[in-house]
Chains A and B, each alone.
Chain A
Amino acid sequence: MKSFKAYFKKEVIEAIRTNKYLILFTGTVLWALVNPLMLKLLPVIMRNYVTPELADLFTYFNRDNAFTNFLGDLFEMGTLFIVFTLMGLIAGEISGKKLTFPYSRGASPAGMVLAKYIHYLITINILIMIAFITNYFYVCCIFTDGILSISIVLKSALLYMLYYCTLLSILIFFSSIFKRSILAGITTLVLGYGLSIFNQFKTIRFYLPNYLLYKAGDLLNVFDSSLIKTAIISACIIILLVTLTIYRMKKIDIS
């Protein structure tokens, strides 16, 4: 618990001083603001470059389209921002020999890993929730029509939060395995983006965390029983990878 508290406070200081909060905010909340605005302005911008008939295709966006468009962009850009910001979470500590003092004074690897994971889990979840609510209000102000409601938005946000908890556990695990942060980042991105392909296969998509994203965009039926398997599997992945990261950090040579 002592190590957990020490590292949690350290992560807060680090995130403030190295602008990690700001970068993560840009990758999530700012996106929620910019996305509906861009959609609204797109027809106006396009009119100068394409024929009026083609430009008209961009004019009809209702609230639902705008929100799902935001979800897609958040997945693509938000994941990129989150992974590249946090890829050095453990790899950076190992390669920079930052663990020498804490480990030599009896720091607990479990406390360290959990503090890092929980700190960014809270940060990302708060930012996602803010982003979704912000986007909802913006979308409601700018667009009309559609079935979008605050309850749908909150349900979608919960699914995105669970997805990013899983992605964070994958990232923290690879960050403890690879000495170079960039390798951890690229591997996580490949896995994160790559698994979305399986959303096209009805038989296996329930078993992969990316199904959470698919269901988040299914506005007519966000929560259904098909999510139980996915949620359980995602939770198992989180527990397994965080445990493996702790085990790895217990066995690692710090020198």
Chain B
Amino acid sequence: MIEVAGLCKKYGNFEALKSISFSVEKGTVFGFIGRNGAGKTTTMNILTGLLKFDKGEILIKSKHFLKNRRELSKLIGYLPESPAFYDYMNSYEYLSFIGRIISSDNKNFETNIKGLLEKVGLKKGGKRRIGGYSRGMKQRLALAVAFMNNPEILFLDEPASALDPEGRMEMLGLIEDLKDEKITIFLSTHILNDAEKVCDRICIIDEGKILVTENLSNLYKTHIQPIFDIEFEDDPEDKVDQLKNLGWVENIKIERRRVSIYVRDLDTAKKEILKELSNLNTGVTSYQIRKSTLEDIFLRMVGKNEII
């Protein structure tokens, strides 16, 4: 659905995107994650035609994006991180304004607006001026704008950042529903827990470079490192150092009585670890295999995890 190859963008001397390439399949949720300033919003602005780029190629539905920008824009819905509206308008008027830009069929979008406002939970505030909306309400209206004209591709930049917990859950539910409708979603988020819940494919970007693009299940298989967290009754001191010599142990981190053992081979570790711990002749108060998350992978990828 979306193919990006060798995309470069410079702001003066600053290289915001350093030849990034990725592809997004139709009907999937593509999670685009990275730190602040990593290049997420720049990529989204380029893909929605708001920003020019210096080098590279973008294909949407196998069509050259630059050559068919106006036509392809009709297929795209965009929810920016900080949506801006005309404060003197109400939701109905603003959606009508966008509707007129997209379609000449007035009747079609007029009926669509009511449904959209209901879908995003703004039916009650629809007649109020946008200037009086809370940040969450504006986010909901922005979502309604993104949904207008049933886009085939949705770009969502931090869609849940301004929402309350209930709103966030609704948003995730909505994304799940859209996935069922075979809408392609390009989701940029800081909330890795959300990405883990809804994304099929994850792309990690840092300092303008793509670090990894992988299916979520493959990402867990290839990038998650099993960790055993063990708490001893007394300070194990140097006793655990001998574990480092074992072939299936990659690293050990000791924090007073708590020891984290990073293993290479989970199956062997499961069989051997209890034997090795009993050999240490020190009381163990707790023992568990830590369930690594997308956050662990992300932190390790962007070089923030000092342990590994």
Q: From A2, A96, A106, give the contact of B84 (CB < 8 A).
A: A96
> Which residue, B52, B98, B142, has most C-beta atoms of chain A within 10 A?
B98
User: How large, as a class, is the contact surface on chain A?
Assistant: 20 to 34
Chain A residues within 8 Å of B49, by CB: 103-104
Chain B residues within 8 Å of A106, by CB: 69-71, 73-74, 101-102
A238 to chain B, nearest CB (A): 25
User: Is residue A105 within 8 Å, beta carbon to beta carbon, of the partner chain?
Assistant: yes
User: How large, as a class, is the contact surface on chain B?
Assistant: 35 or more
Q: From B73, B89, B93, B103, give the contact of A104 (CB < 8 A).
A: B73
Q: From A9, A97, A103, A108, give the contact of B97 (CB < 8 A).
A: A9
A117-169 at interface with B (beta carbon < 8 Å): none
User: Is residue A77 within 8 Å, beta carbon to beta carbon, of the partner chain?
Assistant: no
User: Is residue A5 within 8 Å, beta carbon to beta carbon, of the partner chain?
Assistant: yes
Chain B residues within 8 Å of A255, by CB: 41-42, 45, 50-51
Question: Residue of B at shortest CB range from A97?
Answer: B84
- Does B101 lie within 8 Å of A6, measured CB to CB? yes
> Which residue, A9, A105, A106, A255, has most C-beta atoms of chain B within 10 A?
A105
User: Is residue A13 within 8 Å, beta carbon to beta carbon, of the partner chain?
Assistant: yes
Give me 12 A-to-B residue pairs in the complex whose CB atoms sit less than 8 angstroms apart, sorted by A's number. Answer: A6-B101, A9-B100, A13-B89, A13-B93, A14-B86, A98-B85, A102-B97, A104-B76, A105-B74, A105-B98, A106-B69, A106-B70
User: Is residue B161 within 8 Å, beta carbon to beta carbon, of the partner chain?
Assistant: no
Binding site for B on A (CB under 8 A): 1-3, 5-6, 9-10, 13-14, 17-18, 96-98, 100-108, 251, 253-255
A98 to chain B, nearest CB (A): 5
Chain A residues within 8 Å of B71, by CB: 106
Q: Given A6-B97, A105-B74, A255-B51, A100 and B103 touching (CB < 8 A)?
A: no
Q: Given A14-B86, A14-B88, A6 and B100 touching (CB < 8 A)?
A: yes
Q: From B50, B74, B142, give the contact of A103 (CB < 8 A).
A: B50
Bound: A88/B37 CA distance, A:
30
- Does B86 lie within 8 Å of A253, measured CB to CB? no
- Does A105 lie within 8 Å of B102, measured CB to CB? yes
